[in-house]
Amino acid sequence: MEKVGFFRSIHLKFVIIYVLLILVAMQIIGVYFVRQLESTLKDNFKDAIQERVNLLDYYVQEQMSKERLPDEETSSLEEDIRRLLSDYNSEDIKEVRVIEGESLRILGTSDPDNQEVVNQRSTDNLVKMAIATKQPVSEDMVDRQTGQRIWVLVTPIKNNGEVNGAIYLVAKIENIYEQMRQINNIFTTGIAIALAITAVLGILLAQTVTRPISDMRKQALAMAKGNFSRKVKVYGYDEIGQLAITFNSLTKKLQEAHATTEGERRKLSSVLSYMTDGVIATDRKGRVILINEPAAKMLNVSRETVLSSPIVSLLGLEEDYTFEELLNERDSVILDYSSQSKTLILRADFSVIQKETGFVNGLITVLHDITEQEKIDMERREFVANVSHELRTPLTTMRSYLEALAEGAWRDEEIAPNFLDVTQNETERMIRLVNDLLQLSKMDSKDYSLTKEWIDFIFFYNRIIDRFEMTKQQNVTFERKLPDHSAFVEIDEDKLTQVLDNIISNAMKYSPEGGRITFSIEEKDEFIVVSVTDQGVGIPKENIDQIFERFYRVDKARTRKLGGTGLGLAIAQEMVEAHGGDIWATSTEGKGTTISFSLPYVRSEEDDWE
């Protein structure tokens, strides 16, 4: 199972939820606090400005109601107002103007750099509105020059219910927002510190919940891998603690059940593994759910690829059976998987898996390899047929000639000797056949022993070739390609003599007049290879592997004519293999055949020196 990363763990989710709750709560509190604080600061600021404007209104009314004679050396109204306004230069107030009522003439301004507006007519709409409505008018604006926010307050100057003028004040309310920004920064810093502390506390608190859950998760992973020895630590007796206790109890029961199941599984696995027969199990729909190794080898399939495949397809029975028909099949089914290169015959027996209620759970198929049994039966039938044929032919001939002699042919001095010669030849041929059969029977039953001794094989081989060369009656040339030095091998001289006699006799039988027979020996690391090559008709490629079978003849008519039994190479193969060697043939049709066999050979120090 994949390991859970930190960013997907419940631990992190607990901390995130905890921090988010705190963050949302603090944000709600912060928004409410900031808004209330902003409203309070603005109201306090405007109230303070309003009080100063009211005080200025009182002083301006006194100056405007004051009588001034033309001949008196008294200050003018503009000078008195300018003196009053000089006290209103502060950080909170940008400019204060006093405006006459009817003419809207500016009587004075507190801005020393803007004195040229004095005695000019005011065009501000707020001034006109305040004088017309006789009520104070205010508006929040943005100063076009500085881009800062300002608060404009216009208060009418009233005397006995009549409006004599207005006080136009521009306050720097941006200071309030600057204070709010500072307060917000302080509040944000406090929130960050609080969240950091909250996160640490959240991690510590979340561990109290996530630690037992994490332990149970690790235990579940260990159980999935078959480890039931671990136990979950109980940290308390709350709901999670009770869950841990229950989990440990479940682990113990699962361990007992798993031990029982594992024991039964091992028994079944051991039985299936050591069975020589193949076993295939299916579910109730005929899909393969189990196949042991012998069955996979018999069918030449991979266990992983055939799982969940239909058994009728696996066994190649789609055309003959359905799965329902296999469930009702009580007899064995013979499966022939033979090819040109390999013979394979299986016998399939089927057994239905049923519950007591009769419900079918699946099908068990047992495969038996009966290839060797079929081969033995076939070889036995073929052997009996061949022996019967080989014996019937000479016996029929002998009976015919003996009947002729009995009817009076023995009186004919020309025919009788020929009849007797044929009868004698056929009798000798039957004796050779019976002797060969007895020898093969003895070798098959292993009721013989080799009398081995160290022989110089080069000298031994030359002696046999010399014997054939002295007794040959046909025009055939012998060519020897043999080493000049000695080569000692441990063999049974009589048995190897018989092997070479069979091979050389066959080479001479199939060699044409004027042909050549080549004898050669090749020395290898652990073997010597002995070869006899003729220039006969050769053996067809498709028959080359069959010449060592019993009673096999390439040219049956020619072999019988020359007195062959068809058992020589079969005997030679048995004897060579008894010496620990191998025998084989190579041939080109129309050009000749080479029969070769190998014998175990160890080079002597003398050979190495040479």
User: In this structure, is residue 131 part of a structural domain?
Assistant: yes
Extract the tokens encoding 499. 């092997």
More confident residue, 592 or 400: 592
Whether 170 and 233 share a structural domain = no
CA distances from 231 to 169, 222, 225, 238, 244 (A): 81, 10, 15, 18, 9
Query: What is the domain-level CATH number for residue 471?
Result: 3.30.565.10
Whether 476 and 508 share a structural domain = yes
User: In this structure, is residue 580 part of a structural domain?
Assistant: yes
pLDDT value, residue 529: 92
pLDDT value, residue 429: 67
Does pTM top 0.85 for this prediction? no
Question: Per this entry, what is the length of the chain?
Answer: 610
Give the number of domains in the chain.
Answer: 5
What is the amino acid identity at position 254? L
On the question of pLDDT at 11 being above 70, the answer is no
What does pLDDT average to over the chain?
Answer: 79
User: In this structure, is residue 189 part of a structural domain?
Assistant: no
Confidence of residue 533 (pLDDT cuts 50, 70, 90): very high
23-81 pLDDT per residue, tens: 888 888 888 888 888 888 888 888 888 888 888 888 888 777 765 555 444 457 777 77
pLDDT value, residue 445: 56
pLDDT value, residue 521: 92
Report residue 486 CA to chain centroid gap. Answer: 61
What is the amino acid identity at position 469? E
111-153 pLDDT per residue, tens: 777 888 888 888 888 888 888 888 888 888 888 777 888 888 8
pLDDT value, residue 68: 56
Whether 72 and 130 share a structural domain = yes
Extract the tokens encoding 452. 């081995």
Out of 444, 462, 488, a domain closes at 444
Whether 480 and 517 share a structural domain = yes
pLDDT value, residue 518: 92
Torsion of CA 241, 242, 244, 249, to 10 degrees: 150
What is the amino acid identity at position 446? K
User: In this structure, is residue 198 part of a structural domain?
Assistant: no
Q: Report whether 509 contacts 564 (CB < 8 A).
A: yes
Whether 95 and 234 share a structural domain = no
Whether 463 and 581 share a structural domain = yes
More confident residue, 290 or 449: 290
Q: What is the mean pLDDT of residues 313-340?
A: 84
Q: What is the mean pLDDT of residues 538-547?
A: 77
CA distances from 565 to 251, 386, 434, 593 (A): 77, 10, 10, 19
Out of 352, 369, 386, a domain closes at 369
pLDDT value, residue 609: 38
Query: What is the domain-level CATH number for residue 423?
Result: 1.10.287.130
Q: Domain range holding 316?
A: 275-369
Extract the tokens encoding 88. 């209103």
Out of 323, 351, 369, a domain closes at 369
On the question of pLDDT at 598 being above 80, the answer is yes
557-569 pLDDT per residue, tens: 444 444 455 667 8
Q: Report whether 255 contacts 225 (CB < 8 A).
A: no
pLDDT above 90 covers a percentage of the chain that reads 4
User: In this structure, is residue 187 part of a structural domain?
Assistant: no
User: In this structure, is residue 217 part of a structural domain?
Assistant: no
pLDDT value, residue 557: 43
Whether 25 and 122 share a structural domain = yes
φ and ψ at residue 572, rounded to 5 degrees: -60, -40
Residues 6+ apart with CB under 8 A from 324: none
3-state SS of 435-461 is: HHHHHHHHHHCCCCCCCCEEEEHHHHH
Whether 406 and 532 share a structural domain = no
Q: Report whether 187 contacts 23 (CB < 8 A).
A: no
Nearest to 530 by CA among 590, 576, 468, 463: 576
On the question of pLDDT at 106 being above 70, the answer is yes
Taking the C-alpha atoms of residue 15 and residue 23, their distance in angstroms, rounded to an integer, is 12
Whether 110 and 84 share a structural domain = yes
Q: Report whether 109 contacts 83 (CB < 8 A).
A: no
Taking the C-alpha atoms of residue 241 and residue 212, their distance in angstroms, rounded to an integer, is 8
Residues 6+ apart with CB under 8 A from 159: 61, 64, 65
Whether 283 and 394 share a structural domain = no
Whether 243 and 319 share a structural domain = no
253-272 pLDDT per residue, tens: 888 887 888 788 788 777 77
On the question of pLDDT at 608 being above 50, the answer is no
Nearest to 499 by CA among 453, 460, 542: 460
Q: What is the mean pLDDT of residues 515-519?
A: 90
Whether 484 and 589 share a structural domain = yes
Taking the C-alpha atoms of residue 338 and residue 334, their distance in angstroms, rounded to an integer, is 12
What is the amino acid identity at position 253? K
170-193 pLDDT per residue, tens: 888 888 888 888 888 888 888 888
What is the amino acid identity at position 533? T
User: In this structure, is residue 196 part of a structural domain?
Assistant: no
pLDDT value, residue 563: 45
396-430 pLDDT per residue, tens: 777 777 777 777 777 777 777 777 777 777 777 67
More confident residue, 289 or 356: 289
Nearest to 292 by CA among 266, 274, 309: 274
Lateral strand order in the sheet of 477-481 = 477-481, 516-523, 527-533, 592-600, 583-588
| Counts of helices then strands in the chain (DSSP H, E) | 16, 17
Query: What is the domain-level CATH number for residue 308?
Result: 3.30.450.20
Which SS3 state, helix, strand or coil, does residue 107 take?
A: strand
Taking the C-alpha atoms of residue 533 and residue 515, their distance in angstroms, rounded to an integer, is 11
User: In this structure, is residue 300 part of a structural domain?
Assistant: yes
Taking the C-alpha atoms of residue 520 and residue 151, their distance in angstroms, rounded to an integer, is 127
pLDDT value, residue 1: 42
Helices (H), ranges, 225-292: 239-274
More confident residue, 90 or 333: 333
Q: Which residues pair with 156 in a beta bridge?
A: 166
